[in-house]
Amino acid sequence: MSDAAAPAPAPAKVSLAAPSAWRRATRSGGLVVGLLLVIGMILVAAFAPQVAPYDPDAQDVLLNLVGPTADHWFGTDAFGRDVLSRVIWGARISLFVGFVATMAGVVFGTVVGVISGYYGGKVDKAITAATDVLLSFPQLIMGLMLVAVLGPNLQNLILAIAITAVPAFVRVARGSTLAMKERDFVDACRALGYGDLRIMFLHVLPNIMDEVVVMASLWLATAIRTEATLSFIGLGVPPPTATWGGIVREGFDNLLDGWWLSVFPSLAILLVMIALNLIGDGLRDATDPRAPQ
Amino acid sequence: MSAAPITAASEALQVEGLTTSIRIAGHWFDAVRDVSFTVRQRETLALVGESGCGKSLTALSIMGLLPGAVGRVSKGRIVVDGVDMTAATEAKREAMRGDRIGMIFQEPMTSLNPVLPIGFQIAEGLMQHRGMSKDAARKRAVQLMELVRIPSAADRLDAYPHQFSGGMRQRVMIAMALACSPRVLIADEPTTALDVTIQAQVLALLADLQKQEGLAVLLITHNLGVVASVADRVMVMYGGDVVESAPMRAFFQAPTHPYSEALLAAMPRVDRASKLAPIPGQVPTLPDMPAGCRYQSRCPLRIAKCAERPPLTPLGGDPEHGVRCWVRAGA
Amino acid sequence: MSENKTLLQVRDLSKTFLSRKGWPVPKTVAVRAVDGVSFEVGQGEALGVVGESGCGKSTVARLALRLIEADGGSVRFGDTEVLGASKADLRRLRRRMQIVFQDPASALDPRQRVGEALGEALRVHGLANRRDVRTVVERLLDEVGLPKVAADRFPHEFSGGQRQRIGIARALALGPDLVFADEPVSALDVSVQAQILVLLERLKAERNLAFVFISHDLGVVRHFCRKVVVLYLGRVVEQGPVPDIFDTPLHPYTQLLKVSSPNPDPDTAVHMAFQEGEPPSPVNPPKGCHFHPRCPHAMDVCRSVYPSLRKAGDGRVVACHLYPE
């Protein structure tokens, strides 16, 4: 069997290797732009104390409702607080809530989804039924109900948003797990005597992460939007803590006196939505084998 | 259905010096090299070889169905029923496809549209190429389904592909390919996806239809057993080259190219216990193909001269039997 | 070691799949995929299981390995009853019974390097410690004819034949006595198919491995196996030694399979004048002998009574009314 000793055909003159997922993803540029934007925003939020020109809560009654100037790029609000500083500090809360809530939803939803898909039968039926019930509520209404019941504070806000994210990830993970179960390697693992936990989390999970990550990036946008919406209607983090939704809300009260109050925080929200959707689309194209080369 | 009149030239399909290139990682490689053959009426020519040998690319080149971005006919002439396909406009080629030249594929499920009734799918070609009315085309569709021996054809005209078994779907595909009474039928692994007993039925059907309709059949297959059952002539391909070309019986009596011999010795037989001799190694990828004879990297008879490409040389005494090998052609 | 010592004994194995089909009101449909199948495999012996798609041949392997649960019957491996085995017993049995799949691309975890895949099996069963794993993995790769560097590559970097070698190496990792080979060469080109068959033969001899070799290709089974079981719609129709069954098939279905099998010889080419007919759906098998609608010898009794398996010479049985009980 000397023949078989030959290693896999080594690309000699020309590389025949399919372009890596990363190369495919970055070819369109959307993913790169989105990532740069999001990373930039995270950095700004993280270094808010250094970056923000003023204390976001410092009031200056003499300088209230001043439009954008060289000193106050985004203007000041009714209490004379610097809007730019508030938007920067608000990014901390808004991004934090979005990331933590999404992560929690992803982890819990994916684990439940993998279990549901892997075991099938009664477990699957019960989980699917529960998921369907949760999905039948519009996601915003559900967040609203949960916060209303639990009470508006940071923890509960995160919990509520995480719970709204769970059913979507249960679905994605379950569907992908079912597709993986069709592949013989799952049976091969069982025949080799591997435990169910090992198969689910060391073999199935890594193979479905592509779909989960794409979904997560899109859900991050939804989570941030939900936080903003809940804050806007007064069910978010209580004032005076700056969050994007809260700043828009405050500006909304004085909208006729100063357009900048709501417009700049809204733009921040818009920008992060666009960036996250660029990332999601880029990742999807990169991981979808049917995507045009 | 009467046999087609044999007024036209008996060469239904002529391929001369066909070279087809495909693009890999931005470079073009010859995946079919200088292939020439003719298929006459009532004749079956089998194109045999393993995956990647270029047999399916040859078929797609003839049909003009190469995916433009990654495949192109770079040299050669293809003449179907007197019409030069390589020089024809795309509109002309489209008119030829399905009319003068039909094709059936390996996978009858994916080749049929799942949401259209099969009667409509058969009739569609007739309406397009022959300008038949809907009623006339439907009537003809029933005849065609009877021709390919689909039981209770009239009742199943409005059935959908998923209501048919694999063998029946392949019959539908054959009926579609034959709808406009083409002169040439290209069958690309037509029975590979079928169970053996169904394969035998479909092969028998193809052989009968060929006689009735006077078809020229280009059969593409990896299975030498299928070749022995239905072919008149055989061409063995390796790495895009035709390495041996012979009348079917002569081929099985005296396979001459080292690759043909090896292929036969690697096939387990159902009629007797056999000792298997595997071919060492694997087919090189196109960028790694050796210059000269492409089989040399696996050939036990390799000599220095193999670095040059051998011509397809007729063997002594039989002009029909050619082999592309310096050693075996005795040069 | 004696070849005759029975390793695997399958008795009356049965499995019915239920599925809900139809629209708008789905109905539950029962498919008798495996219906009272019995056979034995001795140590170091290769048993072929042949039949066409839907005959239940792959299901038999999965039932015997408990990848799916059987409805009835028994599977004895050595002294252990597999179907009733506890989790711990089953784990021990896993080391002795393995499986090789048809499509090696789907049988390997695409995210796992070859070395990790083989090493994992060894570590899970405590067959090698962290330091020895690499050595054992390299020995396994060498045994199936792959270079050591294969351990550091991912499955997609290999050709189909090489991937099948990896699948075989993984099955061998636990040192089994029996391998279920489910169409192991069907997805491969002729020349590669021969390479894998020769490899399996060598392993069979060197390791005294027994095989349940599932295939639709009679030529491959004739080459590799000593005994053969012919299945039709979930039932055994004929069983016996390979040369006898292939030279003088008794059951009309086995005869049909034989004459339909392509042979690279124009004088024994596919017999094409055989009657028309489709394999009936396993959802609704015909009454009596399942084969009677396609059988040229069908008699009245065939339409009502399923023929029991009857002895037909040395080690042969056939389920057909043409032969006396």
Q: Is the pLDDT of residue B5 over 50?
A: no
Query: What CATH number does the domain containing B197 carry?
Result: 3.40.50.300
Helix axes A139-150, A154-181, angle to 10 degrees: 140
Nearest to residue C276, comparing CAs of B263, B244, B150, B56? B150
Size of the A and B interface in Cβ pairs below 8 Å: 26
Of C94, C102, C145, the CB nearest to A1: C145
Q: What is the mean pLDDT of residues C127-139?
A: 90
Mean of pLDDT values over A13-26: 51
B300 and chain A in contact, CB less than 8 A: no
Q: Report if residue C123 sits inside a domain.
A: no
Q: Do B197 and C257 touch (CB under 8 A)?
A: yes
Average pLDDT over residues A143-164: 86
pLDDT of the residue at C142: 95
What domains are there in chain A, each with its CATH number?
37-287 (1.10.3720.10)
pLDDT of residue A7: 38
Residue C232 is part of which domain span?
Answer: 6-96+174-318
State the number of CA atoms in the 13 A half-sphere of B76 facing the CB: 24
Q: Report, as an integer, the average pLDDT of A200-219.
A: 91
Q: So what's the pLDDT on residue C2? A: 44
Question: Domain containing B287: what range?
Answer: 12-109+184-323
Chains linked to C by 3 or more Cβ pairs within 8 Å: A, B
Indicate the pLDDT class of residue A293, thresholds 50, 70 and 90: very low
User: How many other CB atoms are there within 10 angstroms of residue B113's CB atom?
Assistant: 13
In single-letter form, the type of residue at position B102 comes to G
Which subunits count as partners of chain B given 3+ CB pairs below 8 Å? A, C
Domain count, chain C: 1
Of B272 and B235, the structure prediction assigns the larger pLDDT to B235
Contact at 8 Å (CB) between A9 and B288? Answer: yes
DSSP lists the bridge partners of residue C77 as C8, C80
Of the pLDDT bands very low, low, confident and very high (cuts 50, 70, 90), residue A72 is confident
Q: How far is A7 from chain C (nearest CA, A)?
A: 6
The stretch C201-213 carries a mean pLDDT of 95
C170 vs A: CB within 8 A: yes
CB neighbour list of residue A122: distance below 8 Å, 6 or more residues apart:
none
- β-pairing, C46-50 vs C210-215, is parallel
Percent of chain A with pLDDT over 90: 27
Q: In this prediction, what percent of chain C has a pLDDT beyond 70?
A: 95
Residue at B98 is within a domain: yes
Domain-embedded: residue B101 = yes
Across the interface, whether the CB atoms of C101 and A184 are under 8 A apart is answered yes
Task: Work out the average pLDDT over A32-41.
Answer: 89
3-class DSSP state for residue C47?
strand
CB-based contact (8 Å) between C149 and chain A?
A: yes
Q: Cα–chain-centroid distance for residue B12?
A: 14
Better-scored residue on pLDDT, B68 or B196:
B196
Task: Answer yes or no: do B285 and A13 touch at CB < 8 A.
Answer: no
- Going by pLDDT thresholds of 50, 70 and 90, the confidence category of residue C4 is low
Contact A68, A75 (CB under 8 A): yes
**In Å, how far is C291's CA from the nearest CA of chain A?**
31
Query: How confident is the model over C228-240, as a mean pLDDT?
Result: 95
Q: Name the closest residue on chain C to residue A179, using Cα atoms.
A: C106
Q: Do C259 and B199 touch (CB under 8 A)?
A: no
CB within 8 Å: C150 and A193: no
Instruction: Select from B50, B200, B248 the Cβ nearest to the Cβ of C271.
Output: B200
Which of B167, B222, B268 lies nearest to residue C219, judging by beta carbons? B268
Q: How many beta-carbon pairs under 8 angstroms link A with C?
A: 83
Q: What is the structure's pLDDT at C44?
A: 93
B281-291 pLDDT, tens digit each: 888 888 889 99
pLDDT band at A288 (very low <50, low <70, confident <90, very high): low
CB atoms A193 and C161 under 8 Å: no
Q: Is B327 helix (H, G, I), strand (E, B) or coil?
A: coil
Token reading at B248: 């079917």
Closest CB from C99, C108, C162 relative to A191? C99
User: For residue C283, which of C30, C9, C15, C2 has the smallest C-alpha distance?
Assistant: C30
Partners of C77 on chain A (C-beta within 8 Å) are none
Task: State mean pLDDT over C258-271.
Answer: 83
B10 in contact with chain A, both atoms CB, cutoff 8 A? no
Answer whether residue C144 is part of any domain. no
Mean pLDDT of C107-123: 93
- Spell out which residues of chain B touch residue A2, defining contact as CB-CB under 8 Å: 280
Tokens standing for C180? Answer: 């279920």
Q: Is residue C141 part of a domain?
A: no
- C-alpha distances (whole Å) from B97 to each of B10, B64, B103, B181, B206 are 19, 9, 8, 12, 19
Residue B264, SS3 per DSSP: helix
Distance CA C55, CA C65 (A): 18
Q: What is the DSSP letter of C113?
A: -
Q: Is C52 on the interface with A (CB under 8 A)?
A: no
**pLDDT tens digits for range B50-108:** 888 999 999 999 988 888 788 899 999 999 988 888 888 888 888 888 888 989 988 76
B-C Cβ pairs (cutoff 8 Å, strict): 144
For C93, C97, C110, C124, the CA distances from A190, given in Å and listed in that order, are 12, 12, 16, 12
Residues 194-233 on B with a CB inside 8 Å of C are 195-201, 203-204, 207, 222-230
C163 falls within a domain? no
Q: How far is A7 from chain B (nearest CA, A)?
A: 10
- Give pLDDT, residue A22: 61
Judged by CB atoms closer than 8 Å, whether chains meet at B25 and A16 is answered as yes
Instruction: Let me know if residue B192 belongs to a domain.
Output: yes
Q: Give residue B7's pLDDT band: very low, low, confident or very high (50, 70, 90).
A: very low
CA end-to-end span of chain C, whole Å? 35
Which residues from chain A sit within 8 angstroms of residue C147, using beta carbons?
Answer: 5-7
Q: CB-CB: which of A8, A190, A203 is closest to C158?
A: A8
Residue A73 near residue A84 (C-beta atoms within 8 A)? yes
Contacting residues of B for C195, CB less than 8 Å apart: 278-280
Residues of A in contact with B26 (CB under 8 A): 14
Residue-level pLDDT at B297: 92
pLDDT (average), residues B225-231: 92
Total domain count, chain B: 1
Structural contact between residues B256 and B312, judged by C-beta atoms closer than 8 angstroms: no
Confidence of residue A291 (pLDDT cuts 50, 70, 90): very low
Closest-CA distance, A24 to chain B, in angstroms, reads: 14
Is A3 in contact with B278 (Cβ distance < 8 A)?
yes
Length of chain B: 331
Q: Which residues of B touch C274 (CB under 8 A)?
A: 197, 200-201, 204
The pLDDT score that the predictor gives to residue A26 is 64
User: Is A9 in CB contact (< 8 Å) with chain B?
Assistant: yes
CATH, residue C196? 3.40.50.300
pLDDT for residue A6 is more than 60: no
More confident residue, C44 or A92: C44
Closest C-alpha among A188, A203, B107 to residue C163:
A188
Average pLDDT, chain A: 81
Under 8 Å between Cβ of B150 and B156 = yes
Of C101, C158, C159, the CB nearest to A188: C101
Evaluate if residue C272 carries a pLDDT over 70.
no
pLDDT of A4 > 70? The answer is no
Residue B58 forms part of a structural domain: yes
Confidence of residue C289 (pLDDT cuts 50, 70, 90): very high
Domain contains C80: yes
